[in-house]
Amino acid sequence: MKTPNFENIKAASEIDLQKHAVIEASAGTGKTYTLIELVMRLLIEQHMRIDKILLVTFTEQATGELKARIRQRLIEALKATDDGAMIDHLEQNISLLNQASIFTIHGFCHGALREFAFEQGAVFEPEVINDSDVWPLVLRQMKRSWPANQALIKQLKVFSHDKSISKVDDLLLQLASKYKSGFDSIYPSSFDFDIEDNIQQIRGLLKIPLFDYEAEFKSLKGLKSTSHQNLWLAVIQPFLSDLHSLIRGNDNNDIEAIIQLFSTHFASKADVNEVFFKSCPAAYKVEHNKSVAVENRALAVHFFKLIDALNQIWEAISNHQKVIKFSAIAPLLNELIQVSQQYKLERGLISYDDMILRLWQQLIDEQALPMNEQLLTQALRQKYQVAIIDEFQDTDIRQWEIFKLLFLKIGPVDSVAEWEHRLWVIGDPKQAIYGFRGADIHTYEAAKGEITSCFQGMAYRLNTNYRTVEGLIREMNRFFADDTTVNSAENSAWFDADAVCVEVPDEKTIDINKMPQMIDNKGLNAFNCLSVKQSDSGAVKTQLATKIASTIKHQIINQVEVSLKGVQRTLDASDVCILVRSNSDAEYIEVALQQMQIPFTFHKKKNLYQSIEAIHFQVLLTALAMPNDIKRVNNALLTLFFALQPNQLADFAEENLPTITALWLKIKEAVIAKDWIKVFDYLLSESGAMYRARNNRRRIANLKQLKQLLLKAALQNNLGAESLAKFFQQKREQTSSDEDLHHKDTEQKAVKIMTMHISKGLEFPVVFLFGGFGQGPADQFLQYYDETQKGMVYDLVKQNQKTYDEQQLKQAHQLYYVAMTRAIFMLFLPYVDESDCKISKPGWYVKTVMARLLATGMYQQTPAGSCSFPTKSDVPDKSNEVLSDFNLIVPTQLYRRRRNLHSFSSLSHYKNHASLAPIANDFSQNLTAELMNTEVQINVAEKVDTSPQIPGGVKTGHVLHGIFEHVDFVRINQHKYLTDVYQDDEIMAVIDQQMKLFKLENKAFDESDESNNMDQSLAQASNQPLDYRQQFADWTWHTLKKPLVALDGQNLASIALDNRCHELSFFWNEGNTHLTGFIDLFFSVVNKQEDFIDYYILDWKSNFSANGYSPTILSDEVMTQHQYHWQYQLYAMAMQRWFDALKANNEQMTSARLKGAIYVFSRGIDCQEEAQNGMFFDDFSKNHWQPEDIETELLQIDQFGAKS
């Protein structure tokens, strides 16, 4: 089908009402306005009644908006005419408007099925359900028959590697939500491969000649000194010997044994060479004509011919295994879909997809009947004369065929005049972003061709942008379509210029005062790039998020002045929208905005049922369902509803907490009576949970929303505790409904965060993009369109990666087009400078937007006046830094762990109190050492230091920990003077956020206790801090800038981000004894003198020390009193076991050692003095204790705790 020639138009008045039409409307070109004007032209120019027009759009909200705007236009037209007949006609249409056919596609199909149920012989009022509720029920029903089908069970065991077949369930349910029977296909299936042919192919390849391969192998170059002998004896010779023993020279080869042999040796490897040569790729990889591999192939001709033959066999075996592995999926999927349909029909149920499917099926079936028997088709054709389909780029094959059958497929010429039925489809293929929901841009392209070529329809393009300021229009035209400065075809324009470039409105044809206008941009561009240098993915996101927050706070809110819809005003927080690629990306933005104290709200945030509040509700409901289970009850008492600490459970067991005991009894009594209103009132109000959450808007919103959902379910269905717990568990496992969206958590003006997909159809004065820098989790299968089959392919073995990637690239272009065109005045795009370090696994944002910014040179358009301070990505002064090319090996994502329990170590409790009363059973054998928070402040009558100090206490310790975890070490290192730190907004924002998080109010030192009284002028003259904020900044600067003897003079601020891990969690166990905890900082430096990579355990402390902070006093008094020696010895014991395990499996770790523990007491540190005051260091190579002794002591304490 040839591409139609589009006519550029500016208004609906240029559209021919007598013909079918395809109308493409780029973002901001007035699509909705045009749609409404077309309706008005039909009503006024053709005197058509509104109930003869079918108008289909994408959302329920859009249908309501269209009705309201059409009503307003009818009223305006009524006021503008004095023609009596026209007045009657318009008034009639106003009265008919409530019955107008303005629907979503599901609303139209469902309405048609109900209205014409008699013509179909169908149920008049089927109950609407979600398929996601039906499929698991049907699948469970199907699985009852599986044990009797041994062939099927064998196939499923191959699929799941003899493990649980829950993998089958997950795959089938995921495929069922996407697959369209009759159009789509599963790859591989029995139609793609013949298993017997595969076996015959393998047999045909088993022609391995005998030869002295060992001699040739030993002649190879590029192998390490011992590799020849080791590889031959340990790997190659045993394999060849086993293979020759299985090949008997006839067709009776033991194929299963041969397949098993290859699978055992080569596992997931794609190339036999990877196993035969292991860590010596240079010996076989031909990188250029003079490479060692070229010479080797000449030296060992027969050996490499052997490898080529083995690779052919392995490829055939791999294909065979893939077919076997997935052979059961396609039949099971078809059975699931068919049985589900039957299940729903028998019970009078209908899902949203069924609404489209059943109407389509009925219309298709009627095409085989004579015209007078096509009851449904003719009824709908008589009802509607014109159909206007909005957002047509998000259609699919069934939707398209429905409208084609009703409005394009006509009978004999004399039965209905062709022009009486018209179909107008309106959309924008550049905004086709819902492929994951089943939308099919390929169907749109085919439909466009059919309408214009087969049915003489017209093709129009709206090409005037009325939404966006001129400067941004010009820059986006350049970004999307300009190739004049691009040399590489890989980074060429995303779209044809004719399809994407838009014009600025002509001042002669529009009231320019109503157009958006920039009054004062405060030095910002319409099109801006926020740039950082590449380091690791997490750091880049943190840096960019901080930069976004800083720009919003300092350069946009209450700064930029605009004129919007004729009103001149200054932008506030609600005018800013940050569009993220995923919910996980939003977490970085939320943290950065919190640190800058910028209000924000996450629009349609998903995963309410996975929130911490939902987890606590689940724990509580489980305890209420099993009130005699001590372990469950103890867990409930630790939730946010009661907020007990683990060491308080013993007091509850002994009824030493009468208030909590009374509340628990009242809740149990209300549960027995099924008085759920009282239950939730007790939980949220009387328990103090809402009061404790008073500063956490999101928590309050989630608690209220979950309470309403649970209360509604309990009251409507008269549920008891067990039933309500099961109901809630099912909700948490099935997160497909709108109920799983978080409610809005603030009414104040706030920055909006939303995903790019949700932003479609919206507009915002200022838009920031964020996310998509790295690759997400691997897809379970590949989904792509096949031009030959004219349908989607679900590739379970990921065979056609190239086609998938090509289509994903186009979808990425479309998604980022949508996101970027939401902006009215300003657009901000992140850019990561890869000049020093490439992103190892770049995501689609890097491959599309960043690549295009680089190709066009637009990455240089940075906003004027942006922060000039270095970020973590900037290269710091490395004169004092010990560099390492060996990154810290830790489990991924540990930097995002947070301290949630704020209590003394349970181990310290046992060690100090031998007569401790018994505690709850669930804490005796699972010994949890809450080592992340063992701070106990010393009560002292006097201080050695007479300077002002923040009072001691747990809050102070938590704030200090939080600052060191989140502050940018590089920024600290860049500041030569302490006063510069006070002026650094980003550093101070981290301090403010941590003080707010732990509810530590800032105070000037002359406002606190008498011992802190000090004249402010004297304080300023002596560089003394004036308040708590500055005191924390003081501690942070001195601590991180202090040269440490333990590190040969290096300071902590110069430790590279890749070589440190904050809040490292660990787990140690011996028998039934388990030890868990967090290490404040775990880092490595290169010891060049001894050729080691030294690892250190570090703990931040805020303790007072009455007798000073010299290393000796810290060791003898503070460390001893609080058992900090034992604390780091426990750390070392756990980490040493981890090190031993890593060394056994990782060659990089052979030169690594656990060097020592550093305890940092920030109150006593002065970075400008030579003495090591405030620093305690234990060099493990010189210590007088052994990990084995610590282990023995720990096990003895655990036994005491279990017995007591």
Give the pLDDT confidence of 982-1025 residue by residue, as tens digits. 989 899 999 998 888 888 888 887 544 433 433 443 344 345 67
Cα–Cα distances (Å) from 95 to 35, 89, 135, 472, in that order, read 20, 10, 43, 43
Average pLDDT over residues 608-620: 83
Of 202-211, 624-633, 1117-1126, which gets the smallest average pLDDT? 202-211
The binding site comprises: 25-32, 961, 1080, 1099
The binding site for Mg(2+) comprises: 961, 1080, 1099
User: What's the token pair of residue 844?
Assistant: 């689609």
pLDDT of 71? 94
State pLDDT tens for residues 1141-1187: 777 666 666 778 889 999 999 999 999 888 899 999 999 888 777 77
Position 650 pLDDT exceeds 70:
yes
675 sits in the region (left: phi over 0; alpha: psi -120 to 50; else beta) called beta
Give domain 894-937+945-1203's CATH number out of 3.10.129.10, 3.90.320.10, 3.40.50.300, 3.40.630.30: 3.90.320.10
pLDDT of 690? 86
Phi, psi of 936 (to 5 degrees): -125, 120
Domain positions in the chain: 7-126+348-462, 131-189+327-346, 195-326, 471-603+748-860, 608-740, 894-937+945-1203
Identify the band that residue 412 occupies on the pLDDT scale cut at 50, 70 and 90. very low
pLDDT of 288? 56
pLDDT of 967? 93
In this chain, the answer to whether the domains covering 7-126+348-462 and 471-603+748-860 adopt an identical fold is: yes
What CATH code is assigned to 608-740? 1.10.486
CB 844 within 8 A of CB 776: no
pLDDT of 922? 33
Average pLDDT over residues 693-701: 78
pLDDT of 7? 93
State pLDDT tens for residues 172-200: 999 998 998 888 999 887 555 566 777 77
Tokens 């490292």 map to which residue?
A: 1064
Average pLDDT over residues 384-389: 95
pLDDT of 1137? 82
Please state, for a pLDDT cut of 70, what percent of the chain lies above it: 82
Q: Which one-letter DSSP state was computed for residue 759?
A: T
Torsion, Cα of 909, 910, 916, 922 (10° steps): 90
Please state, for a pLDDT cut of 90, what percent of the chain lies above it: 36
Does 3.40.50.300 match the CATH number of domain 471-603+748-860? Answer: yes
| Nearest Cα residue to 1065 out of 1126, 1172, 1138 | 1138
Residue 709 makes CB contacts below 8 A (sequence gap 6+) with: 731, 739
Beta strands, E only, 390-474: 422-427, 458-462
Assign 3-class secondary structure to 78-107: HHHCCCHHHHHHHHHHHHHHHHCEEEEHHH
Tokens 């010895």 map to which residue?
A: 1129
Active-site residue set: 1099
pLDDT of 948? 60
At residue 842, the 3 state secondary structure works out as strand
Q: What is the DSSP string of 622-677?
A: HHHHSTT-HHHHHHHHTSTTT---GGGHHHHHTT--HHHHHHHHHHHHHHHTT-HH
Assign 3-class secondary structure to 485-509: CCCCHHHCCCCCHHHHCCECCCCCC
Assign 3-class secondary structure to 419-441: HHCEEEEEECHHHCCCHHHCCCH
CB 969 within 8 A of CB 1040: yes
Give domain 7-126+348-462's CATH number out of 2.40.10.10, 3.40.50.1110, 3.40.50.300, 3.90.1300.10: 3.40.50.300
The residue that leads in pLDDT, 347 or 1191, is 347
Burial profile 186-201: b = 16 or more Cβ within 10 angstroms, e = fewer: bbbbeebbeeeebbeb
Cα–Cα distances (Å) from 350 to 59, 104, 361, 367, 429, in that order, read 19, 16, 14, 24, 31
CB 873 within 8 A of CB 534: yes
pLDDT of 1148? 64
pLDDT of 898? 31
Cα–Cα distances (Å) from 3 to 6, 20, 449, 453, 462, in that order, read 9, 16, 6, 9, 17
State pLDDT tens for residues 476-494: 999 998 776 655 666 688 9
Position 894 pLDDT exceeds 60:
no
User: What's the token pair of residue 305?
Assistant: 């011919």
State pLDDT tens for residues 513-560: 678 999 999 889 999 999 988 765 457 888 899 999 999 999 999 999
The residue that leads in pLDDT, 1074 or 618, is 618
Average pLDDT over residues 1052-1069: 84
State pLDDT tens for residues 325-358: 888 889 999 999 999 999 999 888 999 999 999 9
Average pLDDT over residues 895-910: 37
pLDDT of 1015? 41
Stretch (H or E) spanning 899: none
Phi, psi of 751 (to 5 degrees): -60, 135
Position 162 pLDDT exceeds 60:
no
Phi, psi of 1102 (to 5 degrees): -120, 20
Mean of the per-residue pLDDT values of the chain: 81
| Nearest Cα residue to 415 out of 449, 377, 450 | 377
